[in-house]
């Protein structure tokens, strides 16, 4: 694996060069918060951003995305027949994505890219995207990535990992895509001996992660006993089902499909949806299998910390970015729920049915 | 890359009103591109997404049998947005079908076995498909005795009446049609709820007998104890579930019961499987 040294003075020029062959995305400050945005010419990613309020998922999986278009005009040969829309899948690159958001794409990919069905929208966008990560040297206080299968210097999902050493950047080139991007930017000064320095910075950063979860017992637990645990009442009590936790989360992928018609033509589109909303599961008959907020809160945590774990054997469906913890208006904390689940003992559970 | 969300274009070939309240209609579709019919290669028990352009999609069980060629058929209850628009459409109109989706009744496992079909209300659609499939001359010898217990509120609410009365006359299928009640003095079949008729008519449990149940939750709730009483083990009770769906391919995240998706891993489950999953259906 190649390590490249980037002089900070050449950074902006390299980014500018990339615009010739990539659509660039990066964190920028909007109001009080940072978010990912497509960068205009001369605009640079803000590398001082600790992390964005929303995750990077929308770059590959937009909040609202057209799938098909149609015409209802009966004078047209193809009326009422759905046709695929033209979507721009030209190369794009995200500069300054945090390792947790990159790893999240790996977890989400298990849902969208399966042996039976392939979601062409997600897969084509993912393939078109090069992810240049920025290692976290000073992680946030709610970050618990190191015990959530990730870490401040984690490499899964990334094409290159950039480390800020203070006076310059060191970049580990991890894939062919990363190689191509670095060539296009003109960053090519190899720093063969810098591996040790990166390793030291990595350990320093990992040691700063103060928060953690235990997940070792989750897969051994019985699903129905855990489902019937008495703590769900307490866990869900203050939730207002606002859905914020699922929208800010890089590993939440649920969506809705809707037709939107204007005059005689329209689109079939998909939009982010949330298991926190009653409509998500409401039957046409009025029956709702997840009719109470207890059902819905339990679904979110059971999905992330039990169903996903059992289904894929790839750890929990959470990278420990801490966004849901920071954004929840009533302070529901996945770390606490994870602890309740992981330490659940059906024998000792007082009111389990 | 094949797009699993893209429906095959179809034309409505024929529409039949099935029930006296006119709330159920059977739609026959013909594929606009004949080669799509081959691609839509289904088994009895599967479903499809009916796509009404401009309104959306609804998951509906396939009521035709794979042994019937040249068309596919669905029976739709008028409920909300999409089903109401479908009810207002005419023969000749163009729409879409996406599928086939989900798993099917375990036909290989049922080979050489007695099959007891228990259906209620309008959930008889994939059961019709199954009966036509089993009665097909090429298939009938693969199965032992076939029993059908099918009930509706009143005679006018039974689906596929012409076929039901023909099956009544055959000696290779035991029909037990029932209605909750009727004031028709000439009604010559059973009167009573499905669980009661099941208790009276279903064959006793044995290792070669499987029950397939499809119906409203209330019917299932009261039929299951009857089957328990008759001694049916839970791995021999097969059920088809319904949950709200969108994608139909296990991706949109809404139809799960535990780690299983009703759309992709189901809709057909044995009661034994369901006993091990959260009851979110
Ligand atoms: C596997 C399966 C097989 C089915 N087979 C039949 C059948 O053969 N005949 C029949 O009449 N009905 C069947 N249903 C139920 C049918 O799908 C719903 O009645 C229908 O989706 C209601 O849609 P709507 O737009 O008219 O109602 P609305 O209440 O306006 O629903 C809006 C949307 O919600 C979703 N939705 C609502 N209710 C359901 C539901 N019960 N199941 C799934 N999605 C729902 C659909 O995406 C629908 O477009 C089946 C459902 C499933 C899951
Ligand atoms: S952010 Fe908090 S209050 Fe809102 S749905 Fe999530 S857990 Fe509930
Ligand atoms: S569940 Fe919370 S902490 Fe975990 S990845 Fe999602 S937003 Fe981040
Ligand atoms: S309908 Fe989308 S996951 Fe089942």
Is the per-residue pLDDT at A49 higher than 70? yes
The pLDDT, as a whole number, for residue A349 is 80
Q: In sequence order, what DSSP letters do the residues of A260-275 get, joined into one string?
A: EEETTEEEEEEEE--T
Mean pLDDT of A38-67: 93
Considering the domain architecture, whether residues A169 and A240 belong to the same structural domain is answered as: no
The pLDDT, as a whole number, for residue A352 is 45
B window 20-79, beta carbon within 8 A of A: 32, 51, 53-57, 79
Per-residue pLDDT tens over the stretch B207-266: 999 999 998 878 888 999 999 999 999 999 999 999 999 999 999 999 999 999 999 999
Considering the domain architecture, whether residues A223 and A187 belong to the same structural domain is answered as: no
Considering the domain architecture, whether residues A252 and A183 belong to the same structural domain is answered as: no
Considering the domain architecture, whether residues B83 and B180 belong to the same structural domain is answered as: no
The pLDDT, as a whole number, for residue B133 is 97
Per-residue pLDDT tens over the stretch B36-66: 999 999 999 999 999 999 999 999 999 999 9
Where is the domain boundary, A175, A207, A239?
A: A207
Evaluate: CB of B50 within 6 angstroms of ligand 1.
no
Evaluate: CB of A298 within 6 angstroms of ligand 3.
no
Considering the domain architecture, whether residues A113 and A36 belong to the same structural domain is answered as: yes
Count of CB atoms situated within 10 Å of the CB of B42: 19
Q: Quick check: is A74 in a domain?
A: no
**CA of A117 to nearest chain B CA: how many angstroms apart?**
7
Percent of chain A with pLDDT over 90: 89
Q: Quick check: is A158 in a domain?
A: yes
Q: What is the CATH number of the domain that holds B58?
A: 2.40.30.10
Instruction: Domain count for chain B, please give it.
Output: 2
Range of the structural domain that residue A280 is part of:
218-351
The answer to whether B13 and B23 have CB atoms below 8 angstroms apart is no
Q: What is the CATH number of the domain that holds B170?
A: 3.40.50.80
- The β-bridge relationship of strands A129-134 and A92-97 is parallel
Q: Closest to B3 (Cβ–Cβ): which among A84, A255, A302? A: A84
Mean pLDDT of A268-286: 94
Q: Do B53 and A111 touch (CB under 8 A)?
A: no
Query: Model confidence at A192, in pLDDT bands (50, 70, 90)?
Result: confident
Mean pLDDT of B100-127: 95
Per-residue pLDDT tens over the stretch A25-45: 999 999 989 999 999 888 899
Q: Quick check: is B145 in a domain?
A: yes
The pLDDT, as a whole number, for residue A351 is 54
Query: Model confidence at A353, in pLDDT bands (50, 70, 90)?
Result: very low
Considering the domain architecture, whether residues A54 and A165 belong to the same structural domain is answered as: yes
**CA of A90 to nearest chain B CA: how many angstroms apart?**
17
Closest CA to B243 of B213, B264, B220, B218: B264
Q: Which residues of A touch B281 (CB under 8 A)?
A: 289
Q: Which residue spans within A41-128 are E strands per DSSP?
A: 64-71, 83-84, 92-97
Considering the domain architecture, whether residues B15 and B116 belong to the same structural domain is answered as: no
Per-residue pLDDT tens over the stretch B127-163: 999 999 999 999 999 999 999 999 999 999 999 999 9
| Distance in Å, CA A152 to ligand 4 centroid | 34
Range of the structural domain that residue B43 is part of:
8-101
Considering the domain architecture, whether residues B90 and B207 belong to the same structural domain is answered as: no
Is the per-residue pLDDT at A204 higher than 60? yes
Where is the domain boundary, A188, A207, A226?
A: A207
Considering the domain architecture, whether residues B23 and B138 belong to the same structural domain is answered as: no
The pLDDT, as a whole number, for residue A346 is 84
Q: B184 phi and psi, to 5 degrees?
A: -80, 115
Question: How far apart are alpha carbons A6 and A186 in whole angstroms?
Answer: 10
Query: Model confidence at A122, in pLDDT bands (50, 70, 90)?
Result: very high
| A253 contacts chain B (CB < 8 A) | yes
Is the per-residue pLDDT at A53 higher than 80? yes
Mean pLDDT of A83-93: 96
Q: Quick check: is B281 in a domain?
A: no
Q: Quick check: is B68 in a domain?
A: yes
Q: Which residues of B touch A82 (CB under 8 A)?
A: 6-7, 9, 51, 53, 96
Considering the domain architecture, whether residues B115 and B97 belong to the same structural domain is answered as: no
Dihedral, CA of residue B213, residue B215, residue B221 and residue B226, to nearest 10: -40
Q: What is the CATH number of the domain that holds A177?
A: 3.40.640
Question: How far apart are alpha carbons A309 and A307 in whole angstroms?
Answer: 5
For chain B, the average pLDDT equals: 95
Report chain A's terminal Cα–Cα distance, integer Å: 55
Is the per-residue pLDDT at A218 higher than 90? yes
The pLDDT, as a whole number, for residue A129 is 98
Mean pLDDT of B104-117: 96
Mean pLDDT of A67-85: 96
Q: Do B243 and A111 touch (CB under 8 A)?
A: no
| A285 contacts chain B (CB < 8 A) | yes
Instruction: Domain count for chain A, please give it.
Output: 2
Q: Quick check: is A73 in a domain?
A: no
Q: Quick check: is A107 in a domain?
A: yes
Where is the domain boundary, B83, B101, B119?
A: B101
Q: Quick check: is B91 in a domain?
A: yes
Evaluate: CB of B100 within 6 angstroms of ligand 1.
no
ipTM above 0.95, yes or no: no
Q: Quick check: is A128 in a domain?
A: yes
Write down the pTM of the prediction: 0.94
Q: Quick check: is A69 in a domain?
A: no
Strand order in the sheet with A168-173: A33-38, A23-30, A92-97, A129-134, A160-164, A168-173, A2-7, A189-190
Q: Closest to B280 (Cβ–Cβ): which among A119, A259, A289? A: A289
**CA of B230 to nearest chain A CA: how many angstroms apart?**
27
Where is the domain boundary, A174, A207, A240?
A: A207
Mean pLDDT of B66-89: 96
Considering the domain architecture, whether residues A153 and A237 belong to the same structural domain is answered as: no
Is the per-residue pLDDT at A114 higher than 50? yes
Q: Whose CA is nearest to atom 8 of ligand 2?
A: A239
Burial label, A152 (beta-carbon count in 10 A; 0-12, 13-18, 19+): buried
Is the per-residue pLDDT at B200 higher than 60? yes
Considering the domain architecture, whether residues B96 and B122 belong to the same structural domain is answered as: no
Residue B83: nearest ligand to its CA? 1
The pLDDT, as a whole number, for residue A81 is 97
Percent of chain B with pLDDT over 90: 93
- The β-bridge relationship of strands B146-152 and B114-120 is parallel
Is the per-residue pLDDT at B68 higher than 50? yes
Report chain B's terminal Cα–Cα distance, integer Å: 33
Percent of chain A with pLDDT over 70: 99
């Amino acid at each position: 694996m190649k390590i490249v040294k980037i002089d900070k003075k050449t950074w902006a020029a390299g980014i500018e060069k990339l615009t010739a062959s990539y659509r660039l995305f990066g964190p920028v400050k909007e109001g009080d918060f940072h978010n990912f945005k497509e960068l205009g010419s001369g605009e640079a990613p803000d590398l001082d951003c600790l992390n964005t309020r929303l995750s990077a998922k929308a770059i590959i999986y937009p909040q609202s995305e057209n799938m098909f278009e149609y015409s209802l005009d009966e004078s047209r040969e193809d009326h009422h027949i759905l046709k695929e829309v033209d979507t721009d899948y030209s190369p794009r690159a995200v500069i300054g994505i945090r390792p947790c958001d990159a790893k999240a794409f790996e977890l989400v990919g298990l849902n969208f890219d399966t042996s039976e069905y392939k979601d062409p929208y997600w897969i084509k966008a993912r393939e078109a995207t090069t992810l240049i990560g920025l290692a976290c040297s000073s992680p946030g206080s709610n970050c618990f990535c190191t015990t959530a299968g990730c870490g401040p210097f984690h490499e899964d999902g990334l094409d290159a990992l950039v480390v800020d050493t203070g006076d310059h950047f060191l970049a580990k080139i991890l894939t062919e895509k990363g190689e191509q991007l670095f060539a296009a930017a003109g960053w090519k000064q190899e720093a063969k001996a810098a591996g040790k320095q990166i390793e030291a910075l990595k350990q320093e950063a990992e040691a700063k992660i103060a928060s953690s979860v235990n997940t070792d017992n989750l897969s051994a637990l019985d699903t129905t006993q855990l489902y019937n645990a008495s703590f769900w009442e307490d866990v869900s009590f203050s939730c207002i089902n606002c859905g914020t936790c699922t929208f800010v989360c890089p590993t939440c992928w649920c969506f809705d499909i809707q037709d939107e018609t204007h005059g005689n033509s329209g689109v079939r589109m998909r939009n982010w949806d949330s298991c926190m909303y009653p409509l998500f599961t409401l039957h046409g008959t009025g029956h709702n299998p997840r009719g109470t907020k207890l059902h819905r809160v339990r679904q979110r945590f059971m999905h992330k910390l039990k169903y996903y774990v059992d289904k894929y054997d790839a750890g929990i469906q959470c990278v420990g970015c801490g966004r849901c913890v920071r954004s929840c208006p009533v302070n529901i904390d996945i770390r606490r729920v994870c602890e309740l689940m992981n330490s659940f003992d059906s024998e000792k559970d007082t009111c389990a049915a | 890359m094949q797009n699993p969300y893209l429906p095959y274009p179809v034309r409505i070939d024929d529409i039949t009103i099935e029930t006296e309240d006119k709330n159920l209609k059977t739609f026959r579709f013909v594929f606009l591109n004949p080669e799509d019919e081959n691609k839509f290669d289904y088994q009895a028990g599967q479903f499809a997404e009916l796509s009404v352009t401009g309104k959306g999609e609804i998951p509906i069980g396939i009521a035709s049998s794979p042994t019937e060629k040249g068309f596919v058929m669905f029976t739709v209850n008028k409920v909300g947005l999409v089903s109401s628009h479908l009810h207002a459409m005419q023969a000749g109109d163009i729409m879409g079908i996406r599928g086939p989706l989900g798993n099917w009744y375990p036909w290989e496992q049922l080979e050489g076995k007695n099959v007891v079909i228990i259906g209620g209300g309008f959930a008889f659609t994939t059961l019709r498909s199954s009966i036509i499939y089993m009665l097909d001359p090429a298939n009938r010898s693969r199965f032992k005795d076939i029993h059908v217990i099918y009930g509706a509120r009143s005679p006018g609410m039974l689906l596929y009446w012409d076929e039901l009365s023909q099956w009544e006359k055959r000696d290779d299928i035991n029909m037990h049609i029932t209605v909750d009640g009727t004031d028709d003095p000439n009604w010559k079949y059973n009167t009573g709820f499905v669980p009661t008729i099941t208790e009276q008519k279903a064959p006793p449990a044995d290792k070669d007998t499987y029950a397939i149940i499809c119906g409203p939750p209330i019917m299932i709730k009261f039929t299951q104890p009857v089957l328990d009483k008759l001694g049916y083990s839970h791995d021999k009770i097969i059920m088809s579930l319904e949950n709200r769906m969108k994608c139909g391919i296990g991706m949109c995240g809404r139809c799960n019961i535990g780690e299983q998706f009703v759309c992709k891993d189901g809709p057909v489950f044995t009661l034994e499987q369901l006993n091990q999953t959260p009851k979110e259906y």
